[in-house]
Amino acid sequence: MIKLKLALDWTPNVNHIGFLIASELGFYNQQGIDLEILNPKDDNYSITPGKKLELDLADFAIAPFETVISLNNKVNQVQAVAIYAILQKDLSCIATLKSSNIVSPSLLDGNTYASYKARYEDHIVKEMIINDGGKADLKIIYPEKLGIWNTLLSGKADATWIFDNWEGIEARAKHIELNHFQLADFNIPYGYSPIVLTKKENITKHKGLYSKFIKATQKGFLYTKNNLTESTKILSSYVTEYDLNNIDLEKAISFSIPHFGDESNAGLMKQERVSSFTNWLIERGLEGQQILNQSLFTNDLLTC
């Protein structure tokens, strides 16, 4: 049995369910893998998943696609590569409370946005406002990452970035109405999020083993399609007490299942989607032309 470590991007949630199922039901063990799942709550997010990968504290990390670009283009370059897209559709959005009457991004002018301080996040939000006819004149705050969602619910922020299949499900359960601003609706192409990434050198050394990791992971995500009750039970044993009490886990899984992919495309990334995002970054001066020549993702480990 070979030990591997996976660094989560957030406390366990529906986007992680394939890994949790594969671990719980022995899919990794069947491939000769003993997987340790690293929860960011254990260190209060003091080390990001990408940094854990860089420092060899993890073999795999979960993060948005931006992390791959960032690692490949920092001063101390890390040759990282995305190897699995958890969602085939972007289920994230910028959210405001309907009670705030901020019914479009342009109305965020003069209001407060709670940011995760992700690489391009603040620029994306500002461009969304501008594309909607606003000035991008907003206040940006940087709360503790694991408490950002609650800044919106408590009124400390007027908007933040959420996943509709998680925080969105919580809002519905609490009868909290949200406005959802999808990036694509405001001419912003976005990459895959979240994805699994690793170091290229690790794939070179351990391609067979890493392919087995992906095979077990795919099996975990596909298991949800026909095993909703059991999947819900497994997820419930991993989530925080807050999430257990505030989120309808079965609804979160049901909402997500169509976007995990199927036997033909689970985990797959498409060049055109990645290119749209990287070209947008270059056009905005956020990255240089060199990113077009970098191998930022691979589908080589997929078994589908």
Whether 99 and 152 share a structural domain: yes
Whether 79 and 196 share a structural domain: yes
- What is the tens place of the pLDDT at every residue in 258-304? 999 999 999 999 999 999 999 999 999 999 999 999 999 999 999 75
- What is the tens place of the pLDDT at every residue in 163-192? 999 999 999 999 999 999 999 999 999 999
Task: Give the phi and the psi of residue 104 in degrees, each rounded to 5.
Answer: -155, 155
197, β-bridge pairs: 61, 82
What's the chain's average pLDDT?
95
Q: What percent of the chain has pLDDT over 90?
A: 94
Whether 206 and 281 share a structural domain: yes
pLDDT at 119: 86
pTM: 0.94
Whether 117 and 175 share a structural domain: yes
Whether 240 and 270 share a structural domain: yes
Q: Which domain holds residue 143?
A: 92-186
Alpha helices in 85-237 (DSSP H): 121-131, 148-153, 167-173, 200-223, 228-236
Asked if the structure places residue 301 within a domain, the reply is no
Task: Give the phi and the psi of residue 224 in degrees, each rounded to 5.
Answer: -60, -30
36, β-bridge pairs: 5
Whether 177 and 59 share a structural domain: no
Domain of residue 157, CATH code: 3.40.190.10
